[in-house]
């Protein structure tokens, strides 16, 4: 079977001819075939996914990361909603929410909001870009492995989509007492969530590590 390569000299999975893999779910050891782009290997015993060769993985992860960063800039520059109640009009931004929480005697909540909705998504996308961009030409930047480790650690902490969901739920309640207007920042926020999902889902973690090792070995 011929492996379709993203780039010459950079096949994936980088498995040797007789290499075996162990299933993460049932520990069954089995031979590991090389995959064409778009194919996936499943466990012969329990049927769980072993690894996959996602199409255009590097360019997808890179492209979506760049898009996410641009939309993040927009989401922070423009308010996502304004509220009018009893003659008061408030415009809300993501950072504004954090400031409001801090001013409202909820410093812990403000910190968590800042970490989960601003810092973690930013770290996640910058790390992906730092890794996947140079890998497109088979290179790894200094400290790439540490960045990859940090990326895996920060992944579960990016909760922008949770924020968005909670935000929509609270809007439904607020709608009764205040007049609410949506702004461009909200569209940008939704675009950030979609782009981050595209970026993190773009590349298999095992593939990322394999490619990093290949690039370091060159
Ligand atoms: Zn299995």
Average pLDDT per consecutive 10 residues, the chain (218 residues; last block may be shorter): 39 60 88 78 88 82 94 91 81 85 88 86 90 87 89 77 80 78 88 90 80 78
Angstrom distance (rounded) from CA 43 to CA 145: 28
130 and 77 share one domain: yes
How many CB atoms within 10 Å of residue 14?
16
95 and 48 share one domain: no
Count how many domains the chain has: 2
Last residue of a domain, one of 11, 38, 53: 53
Distance between Cα 135 and ligand 1 center (Å): 30
Distance between Cα 56 and ligand 1 center (Å): 27
Distance between Cα 21 and ligand 1 center (Å): 10
104 and 185 share one domain: yes
Q: Is 40 helix (H, G, I), strand (E, B) or coil?
A: strand
146 and 98 share one domain: yes
Distance between Cα 51 and ligand 1 center (Å): 12
66 and 13 share one domain: no
Distance between Cα 44 and ligand 1 center (Å): 7
Distance between Cα 86 and ligand 1 center (Å): 61
Angstrom distance (rounded) from CA 100 to CA 82: 14
The structure's pTM equals 0.77
Last residue of a domain, one of 11, 33, 53: 53
Helix 94-103 and helix 107-114: axis angle, to 10°?
Answer: 160
41 and 66 share one domain: no
Angstrom distance (rounded) from CA 171 to CA 151: 32
Distance between Cα 14 and ligand 1 center (Å): 21
Q: What pLDDT does 191 receive?
A: 93
Q: Which structural domain range is residue 44 located in?
A: 1-53
Last residue of a domain, one of 33, 53, 73: 53
Distance between Cα 50 and ligand 1 center (Å): 8
Q: What pLDDT does 6 receive?
A: 42
- Rounded to 5 degrees, what angle do the CA atoms 197, 203, 206 make? 130
């Amino acid at each position: 079977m011929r492996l379709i390569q993203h780039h010459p000299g950079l096949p994936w999975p980088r498995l040797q001819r007789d290499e075996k893999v162990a299933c993460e779910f049932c520990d069954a050891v089995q031979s590991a075939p090389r995959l064409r782009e778009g194919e996936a290997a499943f466990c012969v015993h329990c049927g769980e996914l072993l690894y996959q060769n996602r199409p255009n993985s590097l360019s997808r992860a890179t492209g979506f990361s760049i898009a996410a960063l641009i939309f993040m800039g927009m989401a922070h520059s423009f308010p996502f909603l304004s509220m009018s109640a009893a003659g008061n009009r408030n415009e809300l931004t993501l950072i504004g929410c954090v400031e409001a929480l801090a001013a409202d005697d909820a410093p812990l909540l403000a910190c968590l909001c800042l970490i989960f909705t601003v810092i973690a998504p930013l770290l996640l996308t910058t790390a992906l870009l730092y890794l996947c961009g140079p890998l497109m030409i088979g290179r790894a930047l200094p400290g790439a492995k540490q960045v990859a480790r940090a990326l895996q650690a920060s992944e579960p902490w990016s909760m922008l989509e949770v924020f968005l969901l909670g935000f929509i739920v609270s809007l439904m309640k607020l709608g009764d007492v205040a007049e609410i207007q949506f702004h461009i920042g909200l569209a940008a926020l939704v675009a950030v969530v979609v782009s981050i999902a595209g970026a993190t889902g773009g590349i298999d973690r095992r593939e990322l590590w394999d490619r990093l090792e290949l690039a370091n070995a060159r």
